[in-house]
Amino acid sequence: MERLYPQLILDALKNVRYPASGKDIVSAGMVEDDIRIDGNKVNFSLIFDRPTDPFIKSLVRACETAIETYISPEVEVKGNIGVKTRVEAPQPAVKPLARVKNIIGVSSGKGGVGKSTVASNLAVALAREGYRVGLLDADIFGPSMPKMFGVEDAELYMHHVDGRELIIPLEKYGVKLLSIGFLVDKNAPVLWRGSMASNALKQLITDADWGELDYFVIDMPPGTSDIHLTLVQTLGITGVVIVSTPQQVALADARKGIAMFTGDKVNVPILGMVENMAWFTPAQHPDERYYIFGREGGVKLAQELGVKLLAQIPLVTDVCDDGDAGTPIALKDSVMGHEFLHLAHEVVDAVEERNNTLPPTNKVEVKKK
């Protein structure tokens, strides 16, 4: 291995480009002038505009790879790259999602009830109906939207808008999409404390170029947590759709979720309930129904709490298969595709009903494209 010196390191790092600008990190002034060499061990720091930059981890890995590729694998650099933040004057506060007309949360009291499936297909169905739709995967610890939309290996980019660098959401099936899954290793668990998760979510909301939207659908984490409070405090949520199976255990948790949203601390309207996996119908016997998780538990809970029942979605293998394949079933002109179109119509009606109860100055008019 040839003798190491700072310019050699810089020449290797010129092969690393910052996704937001397309410039190499040396020309962009992102490599601090503090390169330290001790034998074959190299230390230096990268400089970012803010500590929550979504490309920090990927750039550190890219720098390690560049040095190993263009100099030598014998160079000890892993774990030796520091990260610093430029000190700048605080920017004026920007109202999050100022150009979004309606924000719809999709929530469940517990995991495993198909909340993400409902959220993804609801977003696609709304887009099919001609609405401008965004979808945020806020399920920090179990992001599934990259898989359901077939974009697991997608890379995020940034661009300048009114003097700010904003993340560009991916767009597929007419839906603008962001997920924490784009920023973490899909094969590793996300071991974040509550504050870290909340800050990451805020960045996906406030530092992204969502543009003008009629509906912004949020796939919330299951249960009741500080993530929910962060979303409520950050955004003016129009209303929440609660997803549950007919199973009594799921319904008990759904009841807690409804109580949280309607309580004094949160106070977000419930647009209605979706009873998912309401029954199973074999493909060979379309007229038969098997109530695997109980019968009409969601219907009864909705009646008891005075909440609108938006839809009963049957348990069908194609829904799972299409979600795993990255093609939500709401794209299809099939029985299940029309089930989710029906759900979209019900949600639109519930939003309009909610808006009609507001004072005239707070009403939101939504028009199709």
- If we measure between CA atoms, which residue out of 220, 232, 320 comes closest to residue 268? 232
DSSP letters for 113-150: SSHHHHHHHHHHHHHHTT--EEEEE--TTS--HHHHTT
pLDDT tens per residue, range 303-319: 999 999 999 999 988 88
pLDDT for 72 beyond 80? yes
Going across the sheet that includes 41-48, the strands are: 36-38, 41-48, 81-85
User: What's the pLDDT score for residue 94?
Assistant: 57
310 with 347: CB under 8 angstroms? yes
Task: Measure the CA–CA gap between 100 and 351, rounded to whole angstroms.
Answer: 14
| Dihedral-angle region of residue 96 (phi above 0 means left; psi in -120 to 50 means alpha; beta otherwise) | beta
DSSP letters for 235-284: S---EEEEEE-SSHHHHHHHHHHHHHHHSTTT---EEEEEEEEEEE--TT
pLDDT tens per residue, range 74-97: 999 988 899 998 865 455 555 678
User: What's the pLDDT score for residue 227?
Assistant: 73
pLDDT tens per residue, range 153-204: 888 888 888 888 899 999 999 999 999 888 776 666 655 555 676 777 888 8
pLDDT for 288 beyond 90? no
DSSP letters for 290-358: B-TT-SSHHHHHHHHHT--EEEEEEE-HHHHHHHHTT--GGGSSSHHHHHHHHHHHHHHHHHHHHHHTS
Q: Which residues contact 223 (CB under 8 A, 6 or more apart)?
A: 108, 109, 110, 111, 253, 257
User: What's the pLDDT score for residue 49?
Assistant: 86
**How is residue 111 annotated by DSSP?**
S
Q: What's the fold here for domain 6-85?
A: GMP Synthetase; Chain A, domain 3 (3.30.300)
Residue indicated by tokens 């690393």: 16
Task: Measure the CA–CA gap between 219 and 241, rounded to whole angstroms.
Answer: 10
Q: Beta strands 41-48 and 36-38: pairing type?
A: antiparallel
Three-state secondary-structure class, residue 215: strand
Task: Measure the CA–CA gap between 264 and 267, rounded to whole angstroms.
Answer: 5
What percentage of residues in the chain have a pLDDT greater than 90?
50
Give 240 or 22, the one with higher predicted confidence: 240
Supply the mean pLDDT for the chain.
86
User: What's the pLDDT score for residue 348?
Assistant: 96
Q: Which helix (H) or strand (E) element contains residue 161?
A: strand 157-161
pLDDT for 281 beyond 90? no
User: What's the pLDDT score for residue 189?
Assistant: 61
- CATH code linked to domain 100-362: 3.40.50.300
User: What's the pLDDT score for residue 270?
Assistant: 94
pLDDT (average), residues 286-300? 89
User: What's the pLDDT score for residue 91?
Assistant: 52
What single letter denotes the amino acid at residue 254? A
pLDDT for 358 beyond 70? no
The domain ranges of the chain are 6-85, 100-362
User: What's the pLDDT score for residue 1?
Assistant: 63
pLDDT for 5 beyond 80? yes
Task: Measure the CA–CA gap between 28 and 336, rounded to whole angstroms.
Answer: 50
Task: Measure the CA–CA gap between 219 and 359, rounded to whole angstroms.
Answer: 28
pLDDT (average), residues 289-295? 91
